Amino acid sequence: MKKKVYIISHSHWDREWYMAYEQHHMRLVELMDDLLELFENDPEFNSFHLDGQTIILDDYLQVRPEKRALVQQAIDAGKLRIGPFYILQDDFLISSESNVRNMLIGFEETQKWGVPVMLGYFPDTFGNMGQTPQMMKQVGIEAAAFGRGVKPIGFDNQVLEAENYSSQYSEMKWKGPDNSEIFGLLFANWYSNGNEIPAEEQEAKAFWDQKLADAEQYASTEHLLMMNGVDHQPVQKDISKAIALANRLYPDYEFIHSNFTDYLAAVTNDLPEDLGTVEGELTSQETDGWYTLANTASARVYLKQWNTKVQRQLENIAEPLATMAYEVSGSYPHDQLDYAWKTLMQNHPHDSICGCSVDSVHREMITRFEKADEVGKFVAEEAMRQLSQVIDTSEFPEDTYPFVVINTAGTAKTGEAVIEVELERKKFAEGLPETLFKELEDAPVKSYHVENAQGEIIPAIVSEATVRFDYDLPKDRFRIPYMEKVVTVTIPLEEMAAFSWETFTLAEGKAPIAITDSMVSDQGRVIENELLKIKIEENGSLTVLDKKMDRQFEDMLVFEDTGDVGNEYIYKQPSDTAPILSNQQGDSQVEILVDTPEIAQIQLIQTMMIPVSADELLEREQQMVVEFRYRKAKRAKELKPLLIETKITLRKNSRKIDFETTIDNQMKDHRLRALFPTKLHVEHHEADSIFEVVTRPNKVSASWENPTNPQHQHAFVNLHDENYGVTIGNYGLNEYEIVDAGQIALTLLRCVGELGDWGYFPTPEAQCLGQQHFQYSMEIHEPNEKFASYQHAYAAQVPFTTQQLANQQGELSSKNNYLEVDAKTFAITALKRSKFNDKVVLRGFNLSGNEEEMVVQKPGTTNRLLNLLEKDSKQTIEPTLMPYEIRTIGFEEEK
């Protein structure tokens, strides 16, 4: 039998990258124009693979709306192969839910046109998430194609030490942590191995001799794949001629213009017995470790912080509130949320969220973040407006100011709820604004306290009253501007249940309890509660004593600054330079910000002397496109002070210490990290990844040449042994490294001046100059509290929602649990309504690798198991959560 060569025409379409979005966009219009013309003129042209992302269709029709019918015709005829995703994401830097919505919306968009190519398509993704097999299977996809993460080794090569990451063939089985298995296809010679096929005999022979040998080196079957295209590649118009020539030149082969559907059917039918299996996340390609591109996790940290904020706004605030408000309104803003999600996901392609594009690309991203965030806020405010009209406050005295606090996080939350309570309002209709302002300002000062529905005093902090402008936008009449007098109320709450609310009231009169207890001593150098004693040393580092476990940790929260002569993709410390450490930089100052029995907050102020940039050689090496590994540039001799201000917060009954660090960065070409030496000498650590707490080795393999080993995280990273553990939480700080002696290094900021990759693209804004703000935390935990510390890190990313209420009778109880959740290891990622039937949908995953008990109930409903597309699953719902299971539950009203 002849060997078959499947030639698939495609173009890998980075929507934005080394040029501004519109520069790429206009070239996309040209590509699509060419394609539609070619489909008409060349009947032999089988099909074009539209890069697995449906957004390309929107991008084209935005400019050429009149081509819709022609596009539909090409899809109907099987010429244009589309889907299944909305965009080609970076798996690791977007949330679990964002990864799901990319499929949910991608499938929906595809179905508007036709049927999707049933292939998980990750050609260029910078490493692949471990739960891909389970996620693909849950949407009915049995195969995934990827270009990175596995090293192909061919028949004769020895299997490498890191066996997990290598495969003798370009085809393999890919098994997830839950044991789901799919077919994995590695583009072993990249997704361009059949690009620009010559249609002239001499060149064609040279081309095919090489390309066939390359493909056969790794192919496990007689079906060879040739990807005819590459990044932003124009379509090869004479491909039919080139294929006819190949068939004439190589009679032992059959060359066909093909598509993934046909190729996958053929190859999966013929797989050999000895096909290898790769397991879990695929994050290694080169043994030297440079090209995992993991340092994109710290390029332009501001993008990652924005992304976290908008994801939390949509996933954990807008959707849960809209889900609850449906009970009142009977409607759910599906279209508005889809619009917000699509806008957010336009920032999720691998060159976008990774921060490895030119400045103009990332400036446009900020606008998209702001747009998606505003839609999310609008949806949340509308939901709160609807809920607030029907929450009963009749238990509270008439002359008080009731308000509600909602925990919209999928886990119990400890922290402070903040609400601005309006005491008095004067509408502009009543007088001149400035007169109204003064009247409110001059009214006598009163003191206030907070009570719960039982009349118990809550230890809240009530600010001085202030006057400000605000307005109402009624649904049925013109806007109403006014002046209002407000106080800001801060209430400490302990372990408030997931998806629950409680109502309080602000009443006149001083709180009768006097504050006698204090958590702060030694002029602010010591913070202490029942569990911890934190000492802020003169050098600014923390000595933390765990009183219950009787363990002491020194040199916590030391800041480390190093030079970086790399680029947006890759960190490279200049050779022969040493890190600068904050605890070797002189004395620190402290200031007491808050000291109550419930919460203590200290401001720690330090100064580090840091080189202003790299030396002049760096720019010359960049211009000469000297690869970062061979650069000789060092740090500049000139130093400047970097002021580091860190708020340190500790609450009663809690081991979690919160940090908020602010700097005004005026230095270039450097990286700033916070160090946490845990004294844990263990082989592995755990990190929050996509629907998975992934276990990773602390040490790299012997063949690894990169002196650093950066890794991705979402909400936390953890080191533990059988006696204790330490969880470092964060907000939008996606890069960490486990360094010597059990030290967790958290990257706060990485500043570089160029994009990197295939040329010189200056990126001054990637230096991240100006005010920078970082939020992170440290929690020491006992052995049985590991999962609780993970849930604390999740909860910390979701602020309490608050809303002032009228004094009213209402149909909703003043205190309520919307869902009963009792599941220590179930991390909830979504509470939303199904687009198909408006039913409540809850999604989450097992943090644990063991079978775990879980109870999730909504009164008056029964549970159904759904797949990731939120359609009824064929399986029945089990009471036990399986290891690493991703579970979507639909709530069905009892009849």
Active-site positions read: 124
Q: How far is the CB of 123 from Zn ion (least distance, A)?
A: 7
- Under rule CB under 5 A, which residues in 363-392 are in contact with Zn ion? none
Q: Which residues pair with 659 in a beta bridge?
A: 648, 776
Q: How far is the CB of 12 from Zn ion (least distance, A)?
A: 6
Closest CA to 831 of 307, 101, 94, 315: 315
Q: Tell me 318's DSSP state.
A: I
d(CA 331, CA 442): 44
Q: How far is the CB of 31 from Zn ion (least distance, A)?
A: 15
Residue 122 or residue 794: which is nearer to Zn ion going by CB?
A: 122
Residue 354 or residue 519: which is nearer to Zn ion going by CB?
A: 354
d(CA 47, CA 61): 20
Structure tokens at 6: 């499947």
Residue 112-151 contact track with Zn ion, rule CB under 5 A, x = bound? ------------x---------------------------
User: Which letter, b or e, does each residue of 769-786 get, where b requires 16 or more Cβ atoms within 10 Å of its Cβ?
Assistant: eeebebbbbbbbbbeebb
Structure tokens at 651: 């609450």
Residue 192 or residue 259: which is nearer to Zn ion going by CB?
A: 192
Residue 348 or residue 413: which is nearer to Zn ion going by CB?
A: 348
Among 6, 9, 13, 14, the residue binding Zn ion under the rule CB under 5 A is 14
Q: How far is the CB of 753 from Zn ion (least distance, A)?
A: 22
d(CA 46, CA 240): 9
Instruction: Please enumerate in sequence order all residues whose Cβ is within 8 A of that of 613, keeping only pairs 6 or more positions apart, or say none.
Output: 635, 636, 667, 668, 669, 670
- Determine the interface stretch with Zn ion among 8-16, 155-163, 281-289, 785-793 (rule: CB under 5 A): 8-16
Closest CA to 327 of 811, 876, 829: 811
Residue 14 or residue 502: which is nearer to Zn ion going by CB?
A: 14
d(CA 298, CA 543): 28
Does residue 754 touch Zn ion according to CB under 5 A? Answer: no
Residue 122 or residue 174: which is nearer to Zn ion going by CB?
A: 122
Residue 14 or residue 109: which is nearer to Zn ion going by CB?
A: 14
d(CA 620, CA 643): 30
Q: How far is the CB of 231 from Zn ion (least distance, A)?
A: 6
Q: How far is the CB of 713 from Zn ion (least distance, A)?
A: 23
- Under rule CB under 5 A, which residues in 171-190 are in contact with Zn ion? none
Q: How far is the CB of 349 from Zn ion (least distance, A)?
A: 7
Cα angle for residues 449, 506, 464 (degrees, 5° grid): 65
Q: How far is the CB of 351 from Zn ion (least distance, A)?
A: 6
Q: How far is the CB of 365 from Zn ion (least distance, A)?
A: 16
Using CA atoms, how far residue 511 sits from 284, 462, 599, in Å, is 60, 10, 17
Residue 349 or residue 563: which is nearer to Zn ion going by CB?
A: 349
d(CA 821, CA 462): 32
Q: How many CB atoms lie within 10 A of CB 528?
A: 18
Rg (C-alpha) for the chain, rounded Å, is 29
Q: How far is the CB of 125 from Zn ion (least distance, A)?
A: 8
Residue 128 or residue 718: which is nearer to Zn ion going by CB?
A: 128
d(CA 386, CA 404): 13
Q: Tell me 70's DSSP state.
A: H
**Burial of residue 265 (number of CB atoms within 10 Å: 0-12, 13-18, 19+):** exposed
Q: Are 622 and 612 in contact (CB under 8 A)?
A: no
Residue 124 or residue 621: which is nearer to Zn ion going by CB?
A: 124
Q: Are 342 and 106 in contact (CB under 8 A)?
A: no
Q: How far is the CB of 295 from Zn ion (least distance, A)?
A: 17
Instruction: Please enumerate in sequence order all residues whose Cβ is within 8 A of that of 359, keeping only pairs 6 or more positions apart, or say none.
Output: 763, 764, 765, 766
Residue 124 or residue 382: which is nearer to Zn ion going by CB?
A: 124
Q: How far is the CB of 24 from Zn ion (least distance, A)?
A: 11
Residue 212 or residue 356: which is nearer to Zn ion going by CB?
A: 356
- Determine the interface stretch with Zn ion among 9-17, 436-444, 556-564, 692-700 (rule: CB under 5 A): 9-17
Using CA atoms, how far residue 692 sits from 131, 446, 506, 797, in Å, is 7, 51, 42, 18
Count, residues near Zn ion per rule CB under 5 A? 2
d(CA 199, CA 386): 66
Q: 881 phi and psi, to 5 degrees?
A: -85, 130
- Determine the interface stretch with Zn ion among 7-15, 367-375, 499-507, 760-768 (rule: CB under 5 A): 7-15
Q: Which residues pair with 488 in a beta bridge?
A: 420
- Determine the interface stretch with Zn ion among 11-19, 45-53, 458-466, 657-665 (rule: CB under 5 A): 11-19
Using CA atoms, how far residue 488 sits from 401, 419, 423, 446, 505, in Å, is 13, 6, 11, 14, 13
Using CA atoms, how far residue 67 sits from 71, 73, 81, 506, in Å, is 6, 10, 17, 61
- Give contact residues for Zn ion (rule: CB under 5 A): 14, 124
